[in-house]
Amino acid sequence: MDLITLEQTAYYKISLWRDHVLQPAARLLNSLGVTPNSLGVFRIITGLAFIFLAPGYPLFAFILLALGVGSDAIDGVLARLTSQSSSSGRLMDTIADRLTFVLYLIGLISASLISIQLGLIYIILIILAAGISSLRNLSYHHHTGRPTYTTIITSFPSSACIHSSYLLFLALLVFKVNFLPLILPYLLIIIILEIIANSLLALVYQSKFRRGTKSIKSSLPSP
């Protein structure tokens, strides 16, 4: 059993527990005619609203942010409940997640809670992390012929950092102390390590795929 299979097994067990907890909410949304993709669009809208509300109305901004994060947790459950899970749906979910976080960072910059430089570094690394993760999955798919989904190393560190930063914004509202400039650089290090790990694993799978192709060709009879 290779590393990515072990990751998927662990993630699958976590997903079963999450689906069990969130299924009642997903059933309610389904009865209201809400689709998984519409939740992704809603998440992007909350990110856009956050930009304008964060400078003057941080509490309302956080409420919208919390609703967006909640929709992120439910959309996958809703997709599986309604048999709408697909590659395009997973892509939409990933794009909505990362775009919402980029909008959140822009909101923090507009509210002068973090510097423009720190925000831009975060935006670049989040986009790079998503791209490298996709490259790793593509290499694995070429090597094994099996599709890959979310796993622990592919996205968990950056996702954990994203949600940790949301909690830091909540801490700002509750304690009136801005921990964001202090903690965000350490979260950046975690994302950089994720990028390095996924880059190395993508190279490993690509190397295995090439060696496997060469061994198949060498075993063929000469014309």
- Residues tagged active-site: 97
Residues whose CB falls within 8 Å of the CB of residue 155, separated by 6 or more in sequence, listed in order:
129, 130, 133, 194
Instruction: Measure the CA–CA gap between 6 and 2, rounded to whole angstroms.
Output: 6
Measured distance CA(41)–CA(53) in Å, rounded: 19
Contacts of 39 (CB under 8 A, 6+ apart): 29, 71, 72, 74, 75, 78
Instruction: Please give the C-alpha separations between residue 20 and each of 17, 80, 123, in angstroms, as whole numbers.
Output: 5, 12, 33
Residue 82 phi/psi, 5° resolution? -100, 10
